[in-house]
Structure 1
């Protein structure tokens, strides 16, 4: 199915769905599930959990596909983590953590609701429109079986859609020649991303690394001395999102305008409950 979508409809749907996927990286259930295997370092937990669909890959492939993580941080986790827990073990732990997270924050009534089943069906239909070629993290997750429980099927589809958009966003970043740290710093400067403190710590960069990226952005006249995006910087970031929308349009065109609007509405309801329940630490967002 193809349909004329309203401007940014796919982007709005992505923003509504993405927290359903990404909340797993912050939930205590994930650490609990992986601790018995000896996977306890936060970096190793994240890297293994997100990379597991790729198989027992080394750090090079993961640094390339994650894009904005320091290679040294990835290398500290891979490939040694696979000696503690195989990718199959990590994937099973990931799904158990998602189940625990959604049961705790959404509640059994929501998980068994017609709205959950409808959202899972719509998201799954959208994911049918995704494209494997040139999208490694999406393609790896697409090879995994679809869970039978509606709330897990919704999470799986949200993961497919999130990684599909992420994969093509890297193409857009490279086109405008933003390196990994410049991409992080310019997004943080927009006020819509995560804090520099959290980004540096979670991705393995030092303050010196960050400051060097800020210097490069200022030299390109994308950032002011006060750390704000210039007009050129704002347009660059807006253009990045427009190009990402274009490259990511297939699943939403496949679902159609009516389906996208309904999926966005349903996902917003579930996401709001997650956010109100504390799925993400409040201090990770903003300019701090």
Structure 2
């Protein structure tokens, strides 16, 4: 009988994504982060978003941010980068994002859960996973790995969950590139997967010029991924599933740093945290 410990599976990565994503979403859904970024002088939500998320990469150009983020339309990054950094140092935006996100978590979780030994343990194990994966080909993840890990457990949990989110996102982009699905096309497929029809009404793309959206939809029809009414074809649904499956497979490496017992413990400690956040929509 083999004594080798079992490796984490794509199912593990999908399970961890479900548990960690609500922790990350406070950055985008709660007011504290936006307030911290506005207090620095960022004029709009999107100024703060682009500046604080891209800041771990350094003072890179809009073209680099566009490439790394992948799913924004042409020109959107350039409306915020590098102007968002002209008077506000990237390091200040990173710190504001961390402060606001941690404050949101403390408010939503309450003092008892936020200060519990279970949360501290979850932060420790999440950090162990998040700081253990190879960085090759993982641009956003590598940027986050270059930042100091916070000592405060709540901030550390948010920071490490966000590191793992960027790691998964880098892998998702690789899967999209391999499937020849561009950023706007990816939003269309996600909208259809979530039952949004017409897909052009999806909040992430509905503001784009009608001509641009029409060209994207025509391209997906030409490839046989959507039908004449804008619904998934069998080939389109299969393509979306292959992308998600590969994303899960590519998200496994961080969890190989944890033993099976540690993974079980991490799931157990994260469950009440995730449940509390899901109850409020991470707001």
Q: Tell me the TM-score normalized by structure 2.
A: 0.90
Instruction: Tell me the equivalent position of 2:174.
Output: 171
After the TM superposition, which residues 201-220 of structure 1 pair with which residues of structure 2 at under 5 Å, given as runs? 205-220=208-223
Task: Name the structure 2 match of 1:66.
Answer: 69
Q: Is 1:29 paired with 2:35?
A: no
RMSD: 2.2
Give 1:192 shift.
Answer: 7.2
CA displacement, residues 257-283 of structure 1 (integer Å, 9 cap, x when unaligned):
443343234334222212222425xxx
Residues 131 and 40 from structure 1, CA distance in 2 versus in 1: closer, same or farther, beyond 3 angstroms? same
For structure 1, list consecutive stretches of 5 or more residues without a partner in the other structure.
281-288
Contact 2:8 2:252 in 1 (8 A): no
Task: Return the alpha-carbon distance in structure 2 between the equivalents of residues 53 and 192 of structure 1.
Answer: 35
Residue 121 of structure 2 corresponds to residue 118 of structure 1: yes
Q: Report the more deviating stretch, 266-275 or 87-96.
A: 266-275
Deviation of 1:132 (Å): 0.9
1:47-126 equivalence runs, <5 A:
47-126=50-129
Q: How far apart are the structure 2 equivalents of 1:241 and 1:174?
A: 13
When residues 233 and 56 of structure 1 are mapped into structure 2, their CA distance, relative to the original with a 3 A threshold, is same
- In the alignment of these two chains, the number of paired residues is 278
Select 2:164's aligned residue among 148, 157, 161: 161
* Residues 1:200 and 2:209 aligned together: no
Aligned-pair CA distance for 1:75:
0.5
Q: Deviations over 1:152-188 (max 9, x none)?
A: 1111110111111111111111111011111110111
* Alignment deviations for residues 194-222 of structure 1 (CA, whole Å, 9 cap, x no partner): 97432126xx6334322322221122111
Deviation at 1:234, TM superposition (A): 1.6
184-193 or 86-95, larger mean C-alpha shift:
184-193
Q: Which deviations, in whole Å up to 9, do the C-alpha atoms of 1:112-169 show, x marking residues without a partner?
A: 1011011111111211331111111101111111111111111111011111111111
1:7 to 1:63, Cα distance in 2 relative to 1, 3 A: closer
What is the TM-score normalised by the length of structure 1?
Answer: 0.89
| Cα offset, 1:246, TM superposition | 2.2
Aligned twin of 2:184: 181
Counterparts of 2:72 and 2:195, CA distance in 1 = 19
For the 8 Å contact 1:56–1:86, the answer to whether it is kept is no
Q: Secondary structure of the equivalent of 2:232?
A: coil
Cα contact 1:138–1:163 (8 A) shared by 2: yes
Partners of 1:7 and 1:83 lie apart in 2 by 42
Q: Which residue number in structure 2 is paired with residue 283 of structure 1?
A: none
Whether the 8 Å CA contact 1:185–1:210 is kept in 2: the answer is: no
